[in-house]
Chains A and B, each alone.
Chain A
Amino acid sequence: MKNIINPIKIGIACIVIAFSNSCTDRITFQDEGALEIPQVENTSARYLWIGPDYKLVVEAVIKDNDALSSVQTLNSEWQVNKTTSISGKQLIMNDTFPVTKDANNTKHKVELVIKNDRGGVLRTTIEVEDLSGTNQIEGYTPDLLPPVITVTAPAVNRFYGINPAPIPIDVEASVTEENAMSGIYVKVWGESVDGTYFQMEDSWTPSTEEEKQAYTYRKHLEIPGGIVGEYQFLIRATDESGNQATTGGNLVVGMMDRLYLSDAKNEQEVTGQGFDAYASADAWGIGTLLPMRKIGNNLFTLNYYYRNDDDENIRFIAFMGNDRPFNTSPRGIRYTLNGENVVAHASSGKVTADMSSADFKLPVSRKGYYTITVDMTARTITAIPYEPTNPDFANAALFPGFSPANPYGYLAIIAGGSVAGTAGWAEIDNNTSLYKETGHDFLYSGAFTTVGGVNISFQAPKASLSGNTGWFRLSAARANMKDTYGDLISEIKPVGASGNGANYGISLSGNKNYYATYDLITYRLRIVQVP
């Protein structure tokens, strides 16, 4: 311990000595008197409205006992920065700066930096007095407010325009003006996809004193239909002082957001198509309408099995904006097979809105799996065949005992007895089933009757099963199954063991007769009510 303390003591002693020594040299500060700085008095800064202009006026009396050198005027928000070289002992400052009009009431300050030739600097701040509320020129009362336009029509700005008939548009706007309106100008313009330009101009001038202050403008016009086009409309009202108010909007024709393929044979299969009716989680996807994936502007595609039956009734239903084919709550259907948003194949790969000339088929002559593409701009349809394959077939848990060469004879309906001809949670003798269709390799169809509230699954034939396998049920929780447009749907897929997937089947309303078809390639389940 001693060995440690001693060096510390010695060190402290050295520092004290060194410090003491350093204090022996006395530094003397001589009083040379304060540096003289300029003085300023009678300062003012005013923000003025003079005629149509706004100005900042800065006044001050600047003095110095010896000689002034410069004065700098600063205001950062108006970006005022002016330096003036001066001389003499006094300056009566009266500077004016053009400034912009404040949109808001704004607190401004002006800074003066005044220097004298001895290096003295005076900085002073002057608060700006806002006098811009009143124009400095008596009687100057300009009308700065434009008319007010309220557009009441068109209330809709997107149009299906599938039919070649011109699309009627009503333009309606109420215009009011405090002083006097001089006129209204309306323009509708744009072009269709083939480059055809459309323009309509109209103008109106008031004929009475009342009309100068309030007028409702109305104009009926027609823009081209039957072809995709984009248009704009403009309404401009001008008052006698030249103030203008302008408003307007877009008009879009034929740009579809969603397209669906419908293979309902008739309207009854539209209204009677199946939907999963579980509690409040109603979901479509098991009926006669199939959402087509949007792959481009007005371009939609779908993989589809085409039966090529004589009574094919293939139609394409388009929707725009927030329009949807279904309500989910309450359950409802919001389309028909003959609406203004429906097209069908006519001939030579074209689709038409004229149902009298449509054949309602695909542009092919053989049954099979096709990739269908519909171009709603060119109004064309193509159907490219593809080889049906399904990698799930190789999964023995999903398709026990199945191969395309040795397909199931049927898929048993398992519904706990809530479908006539079923009982419990396993296949029974003569179980109600969907049977493999002759001539359609991967389709299973059949009729069934529900009894009360039901929970329907399907299962591979019991002779093929190896333990708990071969179930076809909802593939995910209902809230997680959505179509290409983000709408809730129900999908039935092979899940293997019953506990996989969402562990639920679909729900159908009770005591009704249904006919179902299930496709093992696309996993489409098509259910319709039958009499």
Chain B
Amino acid sequence: MIKNMKRTCMKMTKYLFILFIPLVYAGCSNFLDTDVETRYLEEEIFVNYQRMSKAGYGVYTNLFNFGFNRVNSAMLASACDEADHADVTSTIHRFNTGTWNANSNPEDCWNSFYTAIRRANLFLEDSRDYKNILFRDTTIAVNKENYIYQVRDIEWLRAEVRFLRAFYHFELLKRYGGIPVMTEVTNDETALVNKKRDSFDDCLAFIVKECDELIPLLKDTWVGFDGDKWRGRVTKVAAQALKARTLLYAASPLNNPSNNTERWKKAAQAAHVVIASGLYSLHNNYRGLFNLGNGSDGNPEVLFAVQRWNENSFEKYNYPVGYDQGGQATTCPSQNLVDSYEMQNTGKKIQEAGSGYDPKNPYLGRDPRLGMSIIVNNSTFKGRNTECWVGGIDGIGKYKATTTGYYLKKYVNENLNLAQNQTSVHSWILFRYAEILLNYAEAMNEAFGPEDKAGYTMNAKTAVDAVRQRAGVNMPILPPGLSQNEMRERIRNERRVELAFEEHRFFDVRRWKIAGQTENTPLMAMQITKEEGNKFDYLVVKKEDRTFLNHMYLYPIPEAEVLRGSIEQNPGW
């Protein structure tokens, strides 16, 4: 990486600088709809508002590395117990077979995030004198207004870029552990090669400090501002949410082996800031929440989302294979996940005595989020009942059909006609209020127990209950009197269900240090046989055994990086 950075730097100084605004933003909200001149010398960039601001927006482009089928055509969900990826050739399977290493990590993000961090540092350094760079003429009213507008905008943009830099550092930190914190553009090759990893706590301190400093500098909302053309940019609450998530990771067993409760208290306090603001709430339509398109930031639950473009590839990847307009299975939800959805009437796990679960009608009376996130057999989708049984038109065994008996529904727009190549805007939610509530619940439970408010407005239980009681979900509240251990299990299951397929579970089982159990458990599937009278026989079968070894809690640092000499490899790799 260091060498790459050096090379990149030299290219920048000697050759052409490429602005990273390009096609990826083409379908986004208005603030990215601009004419783009794509090639400038570096010294030609920070000369006026238009070019300088585009260099800032370029730091956003790495957000497109989040979500959907981004890991060799697979979702990250298929690298944990949430799902199986139907395409056996995808590298995602290396996670599950335990055959990944420092040379072949299917989700190696080291280079891409450091490229983005360098891009951020370049912008922050070269735009430092923005008040003098911007065209200033205060004698003519219109020019004065423009100057004021542009100064204000670059101030916001500088804060946003700092947020993104902190966010990318966090994404590295949660994968690799302590990493080199990069806050400046360094052209000294020796210094770069000698750069060592900072400790986890130093990285943590950097991210938290950045968030604290940024929060007052960021805008409350971009909705309703300047004709809505800037919607999608970072806001105050994104930094608050990043701080809360970072502190939660820092308090978790992987990074807090001595279980220092002060860490949990800090995590709770940070999450409570968002809750206490009173500005955010849960959307009243769980299914619809993930199909808000570019309107996602106008929703009280979405705190920060990647606003993408008109597309239908996700539908092509996930519509059940039997639809004649197109579709195939990629992310096939696991039986393991399906089993974690409780019964709606009793609030009990299906395994519990008296839950009301009927194995002959396994999807009846379940947590409504099951049917909103996963297409199950014989459920209505696009105007017909799905046929996930063996021999059914969507069933196991058919070419490109589900491998588990289920198809993915979350984030899938049911209303597209693929034969007509209809598309819709897809947004990937990076932070949402339900996660904040669950972050808070987890931290409160660990710091103070299940039902102690400790001076805040909610305790752990009421925060979980709020998620469960979302309009349209209406799961029973948790019973009072749970022990801390019992509440921990309930919170973990609530996260598993509420945040399924949102790239949380993969990291949650690692930070909880339970991947040794969850990721060594075989992935199970549902084999369905159709019987007389439109009845079905449901039999759970093993899809595959999976392998997770103790050193896999952290990613390996790319070997090319380690061989440079100063970056120490994570243990076991």
How far apart sit A283 and B252, CA to CA, in the bound complex (Å)? 50
**Which among A146, A234, A484, A486 is the interface contact of B477 at CB below 8 angstroms?**
A234
Question: What does the 1/0 interface line of B437-470 toward A look like (CB < 8 Å)?
Answer: 0000000000000000000011000100110010
Known: A295-B279, A297-B276. Is A246-B479 also a contact (CB below 8 A)? yes
Q: Chain A's nearest CB lies how many Å from the CB of B539?
A: 5
Decide if B539 touches A105 in the complex (CB within 8 Å): yes
Q: Does B48 contact A (CB under 8 A)?
A: no
Question: What does the 1/0 interface line of B534-546 toward A look like (CB < 8 Å)?
Answer: 0001111110010
Known: A243-B354, A246-B476. Is A107-B279 also a contact (CB below 8 A)? no
**Which among A107, A232, A298 is the interface contact of B465 at CB below 8 angstroms?**
A232
Q: Does A391 contact B (CB under 8 A)?
A: yes
Decide if A100 touches B351 in the complex (CB within 8 Å): yes
Known: A232-B462, A234-B477. Is A247-B145 also a contact (CB below 8 A)? no
Collect the chain B residues with CB atoms within 8 Å of residue A322's CB.
284
Which of A232-279 touch B at CB < 8 Å?
Answer: 232, 234, 236, 243-250, 257
Collect the chain B residues with CB atoms within 8 Å of residue A338's CB.
none
Q: Chain B's nearest CB lies how many Å from the CB of A223?
A: 16
Decide if B145 touches A245 in the complex (CB within 8 Å): no
Decide if A247 touches B351 in the complex (CB within 8 Å): no
Q: Does B261 contact A (CB under 8 A)?
A: no
How far apart sit A292 and B520, CA to CA, in the bound complex (Å)? 53
Decide if A297 touches B457 in the complex (CB within 8 Å): yes
Known: A104-B339, A187-B480, A486-B298. Is A243-B279 also a contact (CB below 8 A)? no
Collect the chain A residues with CB atoms within 8 Å of residue B469's CB.
249-250
Known: A107-B527, A250-B462. Is A102-B476 also a contact (CB below 8 A)? no
How far apart sit A395 and B146, CA to CA, in the bound complex (Å)? 12
Instruction: Tally B residues with Cβ within 8 Å of A.
Output: 50
Collect the chain B residues with CB atoms within 8 Å of residue A476's CB.
227
Decide if A101 touches B351 in the complex (CB within 8 Å): yes
Q: Chain A's nearest CB lies how many Å from the CB of B387?
A: 20
Decide if B479 touches A236 in the complex (CB within 8 Å): yes
Collect the chain A residues with CB atoms within 8 Å of residue B22's CB.
none
Decide if B351 touches A395 in the complex (CB within 8 Å): no
Q: Does B362 contact A (CB under 8 A)?
A: yes
How far apart sit A413 and B573, CA to CA, in the bound complex (Å)? 77
Decide if B524 touches A77 in the complex (CB within 8 Å): yes
Decide if A246 touches B545 in the complex (CB within 8 Å): no
Known: A250-B469, A296-B277, A322-B284. Is A144-B142 also a contact (CB below 8 A)? no
How far apart sit A76 and B518, CA to CA, in the bound complex (Å)? 12
Decide if B541 touches A107 in the complex (CB within 8 Å): yes
Known: A106-B540, A144-B354. Is A248-B477 also a contact (CB below 8 A)? yes
Decide if A394 touches B278 in the complex (CB within 8 Å): no
Instruction: Tally A residues with Cβ within 8 Å of B.
Output: 48
Q: Does A362 contact B (CB under 8 A)?
A: no
Collect the chain B residues with CB atoms within 8 Å of residue A109's CB.
542
How far apart sit A20 and B149, CA to CA, in the bound complex (Å)? 83
Decide if B540 touches A107 in the complex (CB within 8 Å): yes
Collect the chain B residues with CB atoms within 8 Å of residue A187's CB.
480
Decide if A243 touches B353 in the complex (CB within 8 Å): yes
Q: Chain B's nearest CB lies how many Å from the CB of A328?
A: 18
Collect the chain A residues with CB atoms within 8 Å of residue B145's CB.
391, 394
Collect the chain A residues with CB atoms within 8 Å of residue B538's CB.
104-105
How far apart sit A144 and B346, CA to CA, in the bound complex (Å)? 13
Which of B332-383 touch A at CB < 8 Å?
Answer: 335, 339, 345-347, 350-351, 353-354, 356-357, 359, 362
Decide if B521 touches A299 in the complex (CB within 8 Å): no
How far apart sit A232 and B458, CA to CA, in the bound complex (Å)? 12
Q: Does A221 contact B (CB under 8 A)?
A: no
Which of A184-217 touch B at CB < 8 Å?
Answer: 187, 189
Which of A271-325 touch B at CB < 8 Å?
Answer: 294-299, 321-322
Q: Does A181 contact B (CB under 8 A)?
A: no
Decide if B542 touches A76 in the complex (CB within 8 Å): yes
Decide if B354 touches A104 in the complex (CB within 8 Å): no
Q: Does B281 contact A (CB under 8 A)?
A: yes
Q: Does A230 contact B (CB under 8 A)?
A: yes
How far apart sit A486 and B228, CA to CA, in the bound complex (Å)? 13
Decide if B540 touches A394 in the complex (CB within 8 Å): no
Collect the chain A residues with CB atoms within 8 Å of residue B526's CB.
104
Decide if A103 touches B354 in the complex (CB within 8 Å): no
Decide if A248 touches B540 in the complex (CB within 8 Å): no
Q: Chain B's nearest CB lies how many Å from the CB of A373?
A: 13
How far apart sit A146 and B479, CA to CA, in the bound complex (Å)? 15
Known: A104-B339, A230-B462. Is A76-B278 also a contact (CB below 8 A)? no
Known: A249-B477, A250-B462. Is A77-B353 also a contact (CB below 8 A)? no
Q: Does A68 contact B (CB under 8 A)?
A: no
Q: Does A384 contact B (CB under 8 A)?
A: no
**Which among A100, A105, A236 is the interface contact of B540 at CB below 8 angstroms?**
A105
Known: A105-B539, A250-B469. Is A148-B345 also a contact (CB below 8 A)? yes
Q: Does A21 contact B (CB under 8 A)?
A: no
Nearest-neighbor residue (CB-CB) of B149 within chain A: A391
Collect the chain B residues with CB atoms within 8 Å of residue A144's CB.
353-354
Decide if B539 touches A107 in the complex (CB within 8 Å): yes
How far apart sit A360 and B33, CA to CA, in the bound complex (Å)? 48
Question: What does the 1/0 interface line of B198-234 toward A look like (CB < 8 Å)?
Answer: 0000000000000000000000000010011000000
Q: Does A14 contact B (CB under 8 A)?
A: no
Q: Does A42 contact B (CB under 8 A)?
A: no
How far apart sit A95 and B227, CA to CA, in the bound complex (Å)? 73
What 10 pairs across the A-B complex have the smallest Cβ distances? Answer: A297-B278, A146-B354, A394-B141, A106-B540, A144-B353, A296-B278, A104-B540, A103-B351, A76-B522, A103-B350
Contact residues of B with A, CB < 8 Å? 141-142, 145, 224, 227-228, 276-279, 281, 284, 298, 335, 339, 345-347, 350-351, 353-354, 356-357, 359, 362, 457-458, 462, 465-466, 469, 471, 476-477, 479-480, 520-522, 524, 526-527, 537-542, 545
A-B contact pairs, 8 of them (CB 8 A): A76-B522, A101-B351, A102-B540, A105-B538, A107-B527, A243-B354, A244-B354, A249-B476
A76-B520, A76-B522, A480-B228 given. 4 additional CB < 8 A pairs?
A: A104-B540, A250-B465, A296-B277, A297-B276
